[in-house]
Amino acid sequence: MLKLKHVFKDYNNNMVLKDINLNLPSKGLISIVGVSGSGKSTLLNLVGGLDKVTKGNIYFNNKNITNLNTKELNWYHNKCVGFVFQSYNLIDYLSINDNLSLINNNFDYILKKLDIYNLKDKKVSLLSGGEKQRVAIARAILKNPKILLCDEPTGALDTSSSIKTMELLKELSNRMLVIVVTHNMDLANTYSDYIIEIKDGKINSNIKVSDDNNKLIIGKPKKTKIYKIASYHLKHKRKRNLLISISFAIGLIALGLVLSINIGFKNSITKEEKNSLAKYPITISKYSTYLEDNSIKQEENQIYAYDINHINIIDKTIVNNLEDINNNLSYKIFKYNINNR
Ligand code: ADP
Ligand code: MG
């Protein structure tokens, strides 16, 4: 049912999986073992369509799932694969009931089967690790997936909860393919139909089992009732919402203050410039000179401007205009002192 053909995966030129070939049946419990960082989670994520292969192909019921479009990927996530993580990934402040009704409302029989029916209305944050993991499994199988992918599902559990979880997964593997990443060789040995060891990016013990030819039926992906989470937040997280609103308001006020100080500062500088420059008289001479460093020449103890840029044309109009100003015009003498002369 699940085939991996020459699958490679690298992250930033670090080849994590090198030429993985697998052929897995539609039922049974497969354990993936290997040292930390060997690529177990990477393999699981590729199979679950959470990450893309670098090279190679993965087939689910003969359909290549390596290059699905968004719609097909939604279908794959909603109908074909279920995920169970070590950290449960449940919404802590919702009850079991609310966590599961985000997916589907017909879950009573699953809760009874998993022995958590009486905890239905309890918030997830109040459950034990083993109970949380059972809720996570319930959520994953509620979609009735064909493959259940579990990334270290017993990693955070004590021995007795780990055994209960593995027994549950074993039972589920009678009707679906269950792939379990685990560190625990004892559990792997006890419960698995097959064990795959990943070492140096390759499969150490290659398994080949016969394939079935189930046809692929494409269904409509279910829409997640996201509004439930939003309305819960609004209703039950008043304190947090209030704090967020206050901090947002403070941010806005601060932004306003900075902007108005900036504008006021600019205005006052402009005013200051106008006032101070107004003190100086306007002088008009026949020659305008350009007195920057390179336009002043010093030769034989004399200094003179050598680059006379412009000769002003002082005609009748300018003189008339100047006389109209009706003010006492004055002039200034500049003295240059070079080498004490
Ligand atoms: P395992 O689950 O066996 O402990 P992983 O599959 O998580 O190992 O990781 C295998 C290797 O790939 C590690 O070296 C890890 O650092 C690297 N890796 C995993 N995911 C990413 C990522 N998203 N970006 C870069 N490197 C990653
Ligand atoms: Mg991992």
Q: Using one digit for the tens of pLDDT, what is the confidence trace for 279-333?
A: 666 666 666 665 555 556 666 666 665 555 667 777 778 777 777 766 665 655 5
CA angle 220, 223, 227 (to 5 degrees): 170
Round to whole Å and give the CA distance between 114 and 122.
15
Tell me the pairing of strands 147-151 and 28-33.
unpaired
Name the 3-class secondary structure at 191: helix
Query: Maximum distance among all alpha carbons in the chain?
Result: 112
Which residue minimizes the CA distance to atom 21 of ligand 1? 11
Closest ligand 1 atom to 34 CA: 3
Substitution site in 13, 16, 86 for ligand 1 pocket (most atoms within 8 Å of beta carbon): 16
Amino acid identity of residue 123, one-letter, is K
Residue 11 has pLDDT above 90, yes or no: yes
% pLDDT > 70, the chain: 77
Q: What is the pLDDT of residue 277?
A: 74
Of 213 and 31, the structure prediction assigns the larger pLDDT to 31
Tell me which residue has its CA closest to atom 26 in ligand 1. Answer: 11
Ligand 1: residue whose CA is nearest its atom 22 = 11
Burial of 117 (0-12, 13-18, 19+ CB in 10 A): middle
The region that residue 246 occupies, defined by phi over 0 for left and psi between -120 and 50 for alpha, beta otherwise, is alpha
For residues 32 and 43, the answer to whether their CB atoms sit within 8 Å is yes
Q: Is the pLDDT of residue 225 over 70?
A: no
Rounded distance between C-alpha atoms, residue 170 and residue 163, angstroms: 10
**Where does the pLDDT of residue 337 fall: very low under 50, low under 70, confident under 90, or very high at 90 and above?**
low
Average pLDDT, the chain: 82
Which pLDDT score, from 0 to 100, does residue 211 have? 37
Closest to 180 (Cα-Cα) out of 189, 172, 188:
188
Phi-psi region of 131 (alpha: psi -120 to 50; beta: other; left: phi over 0): alpha
Instruction: Please tell me the distance between residue 41's alpha carbon and the centre of ligand 1 in angstroms.
Output: 7
User: 3-state class of 71 per DSSP?
Assistant: helix
What one-character DSSP code corresponds to residue 126? Answer: G
Rounded-to-integer distance, Cα 338 and Cα 298, Å = 9
- Range with the poorest average pLDDT among 68-72, 95-99, 320-324: 320-324
**Which of 41, 52, 181, 200 to probe ligand 1 with, by most ligand atoms within 8 A of CB?**
41
Closest ligand 1 atom to Cα of 38: 3
pLDDT value at position 56? 96
- The answer to which of 9-18, 169-178, 207-216 has the lowest mean pLDDT is 207-216
pTM comes to 0.64
How far apart are the C-alpha atoms of 21 and 246, rounded to whole Å?
56
Which residues approach ligand 1 with their CB closer than 6 A?
A: 11, 16, 34, 36-42
Give the residue with greater pLDDT, 300 vs 58. 58
Residue pLDDT, tens place only, 282-295: 666 666 665 555 55
Atom of ligand 1 nearest to the CA of 45: 6
Question: Do the bridges between strand 2-11 and strand 55-60 make them parallel or antiparallel, or are there none, so unpaired?
Answer: antiparallel
Mean pLDDT confidence for 100-118: 85
Find, among 266, 82, 98, the residue nearest to 175 by Cα: 82
Residue nearest to atom 5 of ligand 1 (CA): 39
**Protein residue with least CA distance to atom 24, ligand 1:** 11
Note whether 44 and 35 are within 8 A (CB).
no
Mean predicted confidence (pLDDT) in 31-56: 93
- Which of 8, 42, 85, 197 most suits a substitution to test ligand 1, by most atoms within 8 Å of the C-beta? 42
pLDDT above 60 for 210: no
pLDDT (mean) for 121-130:
92
Whole-number Å distance, alpha carbon 9 to ligand 1 midpoint, is: 10
The set of residues, in sequence order, having a beta carbon less than 8 Å from that of 56 and lying 6+ positions away, is 4, 5, 6, 7, 8, 19, 20, 66
CA distance 123 to 93: 6
